[in-house]
């Protein structure tokens, strides 16, 4: 598992950052985010907490070896769930990749909380984890398949060579009586 984290303070009131959050894309430095769609949104009528589920579409070139090994394409999609709680002035955003998720997951968590009337703390953590169980079972299946294929070929090799030897010596035998 690999980790990433950073924290930072924006020099804007919390409410401005949170209003701005919905305007984050497109921006000229994040051209890899090409689409943003809301799939679900609910406003809790008691707590006032807004939960939003979105899908972000990204386009970013992957190294050739990754594309060759895992397939996939330039298009990658991410599921994002956010909670906006005005009463506690707390926002969390959790994101996880949908594309290539059978191989590895990148789990990101962002939090915005007020520091002072004009400052907002931003913290971001991410965990990247390959699905080892899956790797093991895939590796297992690959080994099994290789062994089976080897056995089949070994059988064919044995019987094929038997034929070759028989034909060769039968011919020679007949040619020189």
Partner 1 sequence: MSQSLSEECTPLKKEYDSCFNSWFEGYLEPAIVAGSTPEKRAEHSKRKADEFDAKCGKIWRQYKACVTQAVKDKGLDKLLEQARQENPLVDPIPPPPGSNSNK
Count of CB atoms within 10 A of residue 120's CB? Answer: 23
Does the protein bind partner 1 through residue 89 (CB under 8 A)? yes
Region near partner 1 per CB under 8 A, out of 33-41, 61-69, 135-143, 159-167: 33-41
Kindly state the tokens that stand for 100: 């290539």
CB 108 within 8 A of CB 94: yes
Q: What angle do CA 8, 58, 24 make, to 5 degrees?
A: 40
Q: How far is the CB of 88 from partner 1 (least distance, A)?
A: 5
d(CA 42, CA 20): 19
Out of 5, 7, 9, 15, the only residue in the binding site for partner 1 (CB under 8 A) is 15
Q: Closest CB to partner 1 among 33 and 126?
A: 33
Instruction: Rule CB under 8 A: choose which of 72, 114, 119, 124 binds partner 1.
Output: 114
Angle at 130 between CA 70 and CA 34, to 5 degrees: 60
Binding site for partner 1 (CB under 8 A): 15, 18-19, 22-23, 25-26, 33-39, 41, 43-51, 55, 57, 77, 79, 81, 83-90, 92, 94, 96, 98-99, 101, 109, 111, 113-114
């Amino acid at each position: 598992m690999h980790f990433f984290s950073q924290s930072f303070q924006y020099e804007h009131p919390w409410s401005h950052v949170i209003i701005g959050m919905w305007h984050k894309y497109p921006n000229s430095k994040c051209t890899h985010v090409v689409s943003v769609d809301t799939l679900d949104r609910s406003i809790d009528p008691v707590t006032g907490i807004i939960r939003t589920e979105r899908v972000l579409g990204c386009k970013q070139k992957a190294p050739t070896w990754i594309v060759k090994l895992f397939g996939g394409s330039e298009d990658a999609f991410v599921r994002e769930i956010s909670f906006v709680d005005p009463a506690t002035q707390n926002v969390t955003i959790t994101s996880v990749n949908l594309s290539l998720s059978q191989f590895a997951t990148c789990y990101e968590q962002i939090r915005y909380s007020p520091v002072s009337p004009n400052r907002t703390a931003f913290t971001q953590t991410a965990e990247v984890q390959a699905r080892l169980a899956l790797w093991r079972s895939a590796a297992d299946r690959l080994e099994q398949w290789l062994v089976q294929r080897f056995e089949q070929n070994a059988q064919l090799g044995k019987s094929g060579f038997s034929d070759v030897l028989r034909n060769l010596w039968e011919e020679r035998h007949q040619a020189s009586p």
